[in-house]
């Protein structure tokens, strides 16, 4: 079957949703209910044995499909390379780290130096708090991080659309 990484991610997400539904259904049909009279007569009230077997089998097949699709995804993520030589998986890890850095840079950029007047009984002075970095330099670095993340995301999305054959 011809596919691409974006399609495989969608298939995996759908199958994981089905997997959780089967999980719920299997738990719901774990027991059947019957009554037994003192004379030994058994009356079945709810018989879920066949439902359980069918759903449990579907549950196991769903897990196998998820495993197969994700194996292909991981293989391709580690074989397709960005123009800078990194694999998709390396680029994803790098972008996650860059996003954490971007968050800190965003916080640092919002911090301001300030001065506060302190008045005591016989004394009055200013308490000065000064940032320990150049805000303009950090703004430039922040913008570079944003561009680097966007560029990498764009390169990843281009690789995600490459078609290849997969046996799913």
Model confidence pLDDT, tens digit, residues 23-47: 999 999 999 999 999 998 999 999 9
N-terminal to C-terminal alpha carbon distance within the chain: 8
Residue 136 has pLDDT above 90, yes or no: yes
88-110 and 135-160 are packed helices; what angle lies between their axes, rounded to 10 degrees?
150
User: For strand 2-3 and strand 164-165, is the pairing parallel, antiparallel, or unpaired?
Assistant: antiparallel
* Residues 47 and 7 sit within 8 Å (Cβ to Cβ): no
The 8-class DSSP code of residue 87 comes to B
Mean pLDDT score of the chain, rounded to an integer?
Answer: 94
Which residue do the tokens 């390379």 mark? 81
């Amino acid at each position: 079957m011809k596919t691409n990484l974006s399609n495989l991610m969608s298939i995996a997400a759908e199958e994981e949703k089905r997997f959780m539904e089967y999980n719920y259904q299997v738990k719901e049909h774990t027991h059947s209910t019957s009554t037994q009279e003192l004379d030994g007569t058994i009356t079945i009230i709810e018989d879920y044995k066949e439902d359980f077997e069918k759903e449990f089998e579907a549950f196991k097949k769903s897990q196998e499909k998820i495993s197969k699709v994700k194996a292909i995804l991981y293989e391709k993520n580690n074989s397709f390379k960005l123009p800078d030589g990194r694999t998709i998986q390396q680029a994803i890890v790098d972008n996650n780290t860059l996003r954490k850095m971007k968050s800190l840079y965003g916080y640092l950029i919002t911090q301001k130096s300030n001065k506060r007047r302190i008045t005591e009984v016989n004394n009055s002075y200013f308490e000065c708090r000064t940032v320990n970095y150049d805000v303009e330099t950090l703004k430039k670095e922040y913008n570079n991080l944003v561009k680097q993340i966007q560029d990498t995301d764009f390169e990843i999305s281009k690789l995600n659309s490459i078609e290849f054959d997969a046996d799913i």
